[in-house]
Amino acid sequence: MEKDDIKVLLISAVPPPVGGIATWTEEYLQYCRKKGYKTKIVNESMVGKRALTASDSWNIYDEAKRCFDIWHKINKELKTFSPDIVHLNTACSQTGVIRDLISIFFIKLHKKPCVLHCHCNIPDQMRTGRVKKLFFKNMVKLSSTVLVLNSSSLNYLEHLQKGDYEVVPNFIKDDFIVGQRTYNEKINTIIYIGHVRKTKGIDELLQTAYNYPNIKFLLAGPVTEDYSKEEILKKSKENVLLLGAVSLDKVKELLDKADIFILPSYTEGFSRALLEAMARGIPIITTDVGANRDMIEEKGGCIIQKEDSLGIINAIKHMESFQTRAIMGEWNIQKVKKFYSRSSVMKRIYTIYQNIL
């Protein structure tokens, strides 16, 4: 079957709110429209207070209504659109595995192949109990193939049970990748992009900023309920700037002016923000979690341990030479062009569809 003949039902989150899976979905659909591929979407986005605050807490009424609405739409599209294949994105969250397993049951009742795409670091998500692992194991068993974001997730699945698994990285639009860039003699600006929460290593970032009063530390992203803006400003000097949520165009502008990108998070799947920084040719400081090491391979930056502010300081010292930063940044650009451009990853996804069918 040719790629433009394949009918795909995508079950995934779309903005709002903006997030990793939602951004991936938007760009996946844009690519399909550009190519003329036959695609329908069932929106799994958060609703209620969670959608407004990016909170992990949830309301049982909102979640129940959300689930029944998703299942109703899946059944409707399976009947009316009659896809050749269903692509289900999951974050493997506590309640998400229950909802997604039931979704897969509906897909199997209609005798459609299901591609389960795990947008997370699976070992981190499966640490929270036996019941969750049981639901997830059944999701994997019922799926035609499972796509994961990093090698640690692949290793987890291979030890869980035999199956058809592939590492498929996140992607970035081809035109977001910079041709070339210049590097400042001194480190003036270090940027973090993402939700401002404790599990992203914000405490360690603030401790580092305190030791470098002459470097500006930019935090671009919404402040979650873990902190108040006042609390962050009390912990830091005037060199820490909270920018709030920013547009993609603004992200590109900020990355082009920054000297180092930092992501000291405690857990990741495949970081969109890190990928954007690589695409703009910035050297990276990040923790050894999720796909981070797979992405920069210690050639595009420095890998540190989580909860290690001294490790961040040592990484900054290592990057003081602009030649060092230039070598890292240029390596990142070439890595993204070869492995993470949207065109190359989408071709691979559609080849997977063809192989299943």
Question: How many helices (H) and strands (E) in the chain?
Answer: 15, 12
- The one-letter amino acid at 355: N
Higher pLDDT, 60 or 116: 116
Location of each CATH 3.40.50.2000 domain in the chain: 3-171+342-356, 174-339
20 pLDDT more than 90: no
Confidence band for 234, pLDDT divided at 50, 70 and 90: confident
Q: Mention the CATH class of domain 3-171+342-356.
A: alpha beta
What is the Cα–Cα distance from 236 to 298, expressed in whole angstroms?
A: 29
> For residue 172, what are the β-bridge partners?
341
How far is Cα of residue 169 from the mean position of the Cα atoms in its chain? 9
Give me the chain's average pLDDT, please.
93
What is the number of alpha carbons within 13 Å of residue 220 lying toward its C-beta? Answer: 23
Distance between CA atoms of 353 and 357, rounded to whole angstroms?
6
pLDDT beyond 60 at 50: no
Q: How confident is the model at residue 56 (pLDDT cuts 50, 70, 90)?
A: low
- Which whole-number Å values give the CA distances from 291 to 77, 117, 120, 229, 345, in the listed order? 34, 15, 9, 30, 16
Rounded CA-CA distance 102/215 in Å is: 50
What would the mean pLDDT of 184-210 be, rounded to a whole number? 95
Residue among 101, 104, 67, 65 at smallest CA distance from 86: 104
**Could you tell me which residues come within 8 angstroms of residue 9 by beta carbon, excluding any fewer than 6 positions away?**
39, 40, 41, 42, 74, 77, 78, 81, 83, 85, 86, 87, 112
Handedness of CA 173, 187, 320, 220 (dihedral sign): negative
Q: What's domain 174-339's architecture?
A: 3-Layer(aba) Sandwich (3.40)
**pLDDT per residue as tens digits for the range 278-305:** 999 999 999 999 999 999 998 999 999 9
* pLDDT tens profile 198-231: 999 999 999 999 999 999 999 999 988 888 878 8
* Mean of pLDDT values over 233-259: 91
| pLDDT tier for residue 58 given thresholds of 50, 70 and 90 | low
